[in-house]
A and B are shown apart, each in its own frame.
Chain A
Amino acid sequence: MSAREVLERVGWRVVGKPVPRHDAWDKVLARTAYAADWEMPGMLVGKVLRSLHPSARIVRLDTERARSLPGVVAVLTARDVPRNTLWTDVPGQTTEVGPLRAKVHVLAEERVRYQGEPVALVAAESEELAEEALRAIEVEYDPVPGVFDPQEALSPGAPLVHSDSKSNLLARWTVRTGDVRGALARADVVVEGTYRTQFVDHAYLEPEAGVAWVDSDGVLTIRVATQVIEHFRDVADVLGLPHNKVRVIGTYLGGGFGGKEDVTVEVFLGLLAWVTRRPVKMVWTRQESLLARPKRHPFVMRYRTGALRTGELVAQEVELLADAGAYAFLSALVLLYASTTACGPYRVPNVAVDAQVVYTNNPPTSAMRGFGAMQVVFAYEQQMDRLARELGMDPVELRVRNGLRKGDRLPIGQVLETHVALPEVARRAWQALGPAQPPSGPHLRVGRGLACNLQPYGRIVWLHDWASAWVGFEMDGSVLIRAGVPDVGAGQASSLCQIAGEVLGVPLDRVSIHVSDSALTPLAGTTTATRQLMMSGNAVLRAATELREHVLRVAAQLLETTPVELQLDGHEVRTPDGRCVSLVRVLRECARVGVPRSAFATYHAPAGDPIDLDRGGGRVFPDFTYGAHATEVEVDTETGAIRVRRYVACHDVGQAINPQSVEGQIQGGAVMGIGYALMERVILDAGNNQTTSFSTYLIPTSMDVPDVIPLVLESGEGMGPFGARGIGEPPVGPPAAAIANAVYDAVGVRVTELPIRSEAVARALYELAGHNG
C-alpha cells in the first residue's frame, strides 16, 4: 500500500493542511539567526578585492603595503591558495558528465575575465581596516580586448575568453527527432520568431554572508547562507584538506533562487580562517552581490513552428544561443534543460533543436529559478499564440489539442509516466480570469494572454540523485528529524515536519528538525532543481514509515494483538476495541527489548545513463510539473505603459503538502516572472555593469503587481511523498509569455525582447499607426 493509500484509509491529519510553518514564528519573533547575524569572539572581517575591468591582464599585484597596515591580519592572492581551482559540478554524482564539469579560479591568476572577478582577499580587525587594506593593494591592469556578445564571440578571430580553448563555444546540445525540414515544408502554416531574453539577478534580500572558524579539533567550520552544504568538499579541495576536516553549517536563507547554489563566500572564508586561525566573517554588500554573482542566462531563440490547418503541430525548429559569461559554472547544464524542454508541453513529432552556450567577458551566468527551462517558455508560448491567431483558433483549444498526455514521448524520447495536467491547467487558468473588464481610461486597451509550461523537478537522471534523513522518537514521545536539507525560505524543513508528523501521528508542536549541517545531518543534496520535497520528503517518509513499524510491532506485543490493527495518535497506541498503551510506555519497551526508536533512510531518485540526444530514446528528467498562467493587462496606447490587472497561475502540484506554502511559491514565483517580463535587467556596457544597486536594478514592489490568484490542482501522480510534485521553479516560467501574448491581444504589438519596456511598445504602436496610414 502506498503512503497515499494509507493516508486515505486513516484520514489526513497534517499533510494537505495549511498549517503555519514552524520557522515562521521564529522569524516574526526575531529568533532566526541568518548568516550575517552570527558573531564569534575575536572575529576578523574578511573582504574581497574585485576587478573593475571586464577583460585585462594583471601586470602587477603588490600586497606589501596592505599587509603592513596595523590591524590587517592576512592578504591573500592566487599564489597563496593551495589549489586555486574550484570545480563547479554536481555533488555526489556518479557518472562522468562531460561538459557539465567546469572549473573556476578561486582568485584571478594573471588575467581577469569579467568585472567583479575576485583578485585578492583580506582579513582585518575591523571593517574599516579591511576596506583600507583593499585600497592599499596595488594592482596594475593592462586591458585587453574582450568580447561581450555571444554571436560575436563565435565569429572567427574573436578574442578568446579562455586562451587554452580553441573557441569561445562552451557547450553544444542538439535534439533530433523525425524530419523537421520535410514536415515544415508540408505544414499548412509556419510561424517564425526570434526572441531575446536579458541578464537578470536573483536579487534575494539577504546578501551573501558567512562566518568561518577552526574548531579545537582542527575542523574548519563555516556557517554560511548556502543552498549546498556539500560545498564543504570544494573548500577542502581548495585548501588541500581531507573532506572530513571541513564542515558547513547552513543557515536559514534570506532567499536563494539558485544564486546561492554556486560557492559564494565559503571558500574565501575557509582560506582566511585557515590561514589566520581566527574566526572570520564575510558579508557582501548589495553592490558586490549585484556586480559579481552569476546571473540568469540571456538567450537568443529562433523558432520555426509548423502546423496543419486543424491546429495539429507537425514540426518545430529551434536555435538557442546563450551567454555563459566569463566562466562556465552551470551553463552547460542550464542549456541542456533549455534544449530538452524547448518544445514545451506539446506533442511535436518532428523536432530539431540546436543550442550553444558561449563564453564572453560578461558576468558569469549560472543557476537561477527555472534553470533554462524558463527562457524557452517566452519563445514557445508566443509561437503558440502566433499559431492560434494565424489559424483563428482559441488559445486554450490549440494548447489542449496539442497537449502531451501520459504515455506520450517528449522529443528527447522520454516517456511521460505520470499525469499530464495540461488541459486542466490551461482551462482553469483561462476561465478564472472571469468576464472581461472594460479599459479604465480613453487611451487604454485591454488584452488577455495565456502561457503554459512544463518544468522538470529533480536532477537529471544521470546524476543518480539521492537524499538521506533520520527520524527518531525521544523518550517523551516527541519526534526529531535530522536532514541535511538547506531551507531557502520555501518551507523545506517545515514540509518534512508535516510528513513525519503525519506518519507518526504526532502533533506538529511535538516535531522538531535539525537541517543543513554537513557534519551532523545526513546529506540530502542541494536545495535546487525543485528537488527537495521529492528527495528529502521521500527520505523522511521512508524513515518515518519504518519507525512507525518498529513502534507498532512493540506496541502490538504489549497489547497482545497485531500491528496492522493499531492506531498511533501521538500520545498512545490504540486497538480498534478501545484498549490502549501510552506512547512513552511503548518507547521504553522498545529500549528494553532493543528495538530501534529511530530510523535512517535514503531515497534514490530514478537513475539512468547519459543519452545520445541526437538519436533520442532516453530519459533525462525524473518528472515534470505542468502549469498555465493567464493574465489581463491594460496597455496605454500613448505611452506604451503596461499594467497587469489580473493574474491567475494554475499548477498541478500532485499533492500539496502545505497548501499555504504551495500558494506562496506560486504567487512569489509568478511575481518574479512578472518582474522578468516587465522591469528586471542587468544593464551591461561592454561588460561594465550599470545596475549594481537596488535603485538601478529594479524588482517588483507591491505597487507593481496585482494579487496573483493561485489555483492548485492535485492529480496525486507526482513522484514526491504522497504523490507530490515540485513547485519551486515552475511558476516563474509562464509570466513573460503570458504578458507578451496579452499585450499583443490588447494593441497588436508582438514583443519579442525582454523586459517588455513601455518605450518599445510605444515605438511599435507609433510605427504600426504610421504603417496603417
Chain B
Amino acid sequence: MKERTRLSISFELNGSPRRIEVEAHRTLLSVLRDDLGTVDVKEGCDEGVCGTCTVLLDGRAVSSCLVLAPRVHGARITTLLGLSPDGRPHPLKEMFVRHGAVQCGFCTPGMVLTAYAFVRSHPQTTRQELRKALAGNLCRCTGYAKLLDAVEAYVREVCSVR
C-alpha cells in the first residue's frame, strides 16, 4: 500500500468537538460513517446526485460524499442526530411523522436536513419553492407530495408563529 498524506483535523460534530487523523483523499461521508460511526448519514450514490448523504456544513446543506474530509477542519457539521440537540424531536421531524412523509426512511436524514436548511433561510417560502429546494434529494417511495406537505406544514405552523 502506498504512503498517503495524513492530516489531523478538528471540527464540531453535532455540537461536540472531534479531532481525528484522516488520509487527505477521504470523503466526509466515509469519515462520518466508517470512522466516527455517524451512520445516520446514509450513502445512496456516492456521486452527489441523490442527496441521501446530505449534512449541514456550517448550516449549509451539502452532499457529504462530495466533500473531502480535510475541508471540514474548523467547521460545524450537523447530521440528523444533531437536529435534536436537547433530546426532544425537532418540530420538522414531527411534521415528517405526522404527514406520513417517512416510508422506507432512507432519504429521510438528507431530506430533513435539506428542508431544515432551506426553510431557515427562506422562512416565508412557498410549496413551489420547496419543490425546487428538495429537487436534489431523491425519494423513491413517497412520490414527494407528503414530503412537501410535511415541510409546508412546518413552515406554516411552526416558522410563521415565532
Give A residues with C-beta under 8 Å from B: 18, 20-21, 23-30, 32-34, 36-37, 39, 128-129, 132, 202-207, 252-255, 257, 283, 285-286, 488-491, 660-661, 663-664, 667-672, 693-695, 699, 701-703, 705, 707-708
B interface, how many residues as a size bin? Answer: 35 or more
**What string of 1s and 0s marks CB contacts (under 8 Å) between B91-120 and chain A?**
001101111101111111100100000000
Nearest opposing residue in chain A for B103, CB measure: A489
Q: Are A699 and B140 in contact (CB under 8 A)?
A: yes
**Assuming A207-B44, A703-B131, is B105 touching A668 (CB within 8 A)?**
no
- New A-B contacts (14) at CB < 8 Å, excluding given A286-B44, A667-B143, A671-B143: A28-B89, A30-B79, A34-B106, A128-B1, A207-B44, A252-B105, A254-B42, A257-B140, A489-B141, A663-B100, A664-B143, A672-B140, A699-B138, A702-B137
Q: Which of A29, A660, A661, A693 contacts B89 (CB 8 A)?
A: A29
Q: Does B11 contact A (CB under 8 A)?
A: no
Q: Does B142 contact A (CB under 8 A)?
A: yes
Q: Are B104 and A489 in contact (CB under 8 A)?
A: yes
**CB of B23, distance to nearest CB on chain A (Å):** 10
Chain B residues lying within 8 Å of A25, measured Cβ to Cβ, are 89, 97
Q: Are A693 and B45 in contact (CB under 8 A)?
A: yes
Nearest opposing residue in chain A for B130, CB measure: A702
Interface of A is mostly: loop
C-alpha spacing A145/B148, complex, angstroms: 50
Chain A residues lying within 8 Å of B40, measured Cβ to Cβ, are 30
**Assuming A205-B138, A664-B146, is B44 touching A20 (CB within 8 A)?**
no
**CB of B60, distance to nearest CB on chain A (Å):** 20
Interface of B is mostly: loop
**Assuming A254-B104, A254-B106, A667-B142, is B96 touching A206 (CB within 8 A)?**
no
Chain A residues lying within 8 Å of B143, measured Cβ to Cβ, are 664, 667-672, 705, 708
Nearest opposing residue in chain B for A695, CB measure: B49
Q: List 24 A-B contacts (CB under 8 A).
A: A24-B102, A26-B105, A28-B105, A30-B81, A202-B140, A204-B104, A205-B140, A207-B43, A252-B105, A254-B106, A488-B104, A489-B104, A660-B100, A660-B146, A663-B146, A664-B103, A664-B146, A669-B143, A671-B143, A693-B47, A694-B138, A695-B49, A703-B131, A707-B148
Q: Are A661 and B105 in contact (CB under 8 A)?
A: no
Q: Are B102 and A205 in contact (CB under 8 A)?
A: no
Chain B residues lying within 8 Å of A206, measured Cβ to Cβ, are 42, 44, 104, 106
Q: Are B97 and A205 in contact (CB under 8 A)?
A: no
Number of interchain pairs (Cβ within 8 Å): 164
Chain A residues lying within 8 Å of B49, measured Cβ to Cβ, are 693-695
C-alpha spacing A701/B106, complex, angstroms: 15
Q: Does B162 contact A (CB under 8 A)?
A: no
C-alpha spacing A112/B112, complex, angstroms: 43
**Assuming A27-B102, A206-B106, A489-B105, is B142 touching A668 (CB within 8 A)?**
yes
C-alpha spacing A432/B94, complex, angstroms: 31
C-alpha spacing A738/B97, complex, angstroms: 32
B1-59 interface (Cβ within 8 A of A): 1, 37, 39-40, 42-47, 49-50, 52
**CB of A247, distance to nearest CB on chain B (Å):** 23
**CB of A696, distance to nearest CB on chain B (Å):** 9
C-alpha spacing A703/B148, complex, angstroms: 11
Q: Are A664 and B141 in contact (CB under 8 A)?
A: yes
**CB of A566, distance to nearest CB on chain B (Å):** 34
Q: Are A27 and B108 in contact (CB under 8 A)?
A: yes
Q: Are B42 and A490 in contact (CB under 8 A)?
A: no
Q: Are A703 and B132 in contact (CB under 8 A)?
A: yes
Which are the 9 A-B pairs with shortest beta-carbon distances? A489-B104, A254-B106, A27-B105, A667-B143, A30-B40, A671-B143, A37-B39, A660-B100, A694-B49
Q: Are B103 and A702 in contact (CB under 8 A)?
A: no
C-alpha spacing A421/B135, complex, angstroms: 36
Chain B residues lying within 8 Å of A488, measured Cβ to Cβ, are 104
Q: Are B104 and A33 in contact (CB under 8 A)?
A: no
Chain B residues lying within 8 Å of A707, measured Cβ to Cβ, are 144-145, 148
Q: Are A28 and B102 in contact (CB under 8 A)?
A: yes
Chain B residues lying within 8 Å of A669, measured Cβ to Cβ, are 143
C-alpha spacing A709/B143, complex, angstroms: 11
Q: Does B147 contact A (CB under 8 A)?
A: yes
Chain A residues lying within 8 Å of B125, measured Cβ to Cβ, are none
Q: Does B80 contact A (CB under 8 A)?
A: yes
C-alpha spacing A669/B140, complex, angstroms: 9
Nearest opposing residue in chain A for B146, CB measure: A664
C-alpha spacing A670/B79, complex, angstroms: 31
**Assuming A29-B93, A699-B138, is B98 touching A20 (CB within 8 A)?**
yes
**Assuming A18-B100, A206-B42, is B140 touching A667 (CB within 8 A)?**
no
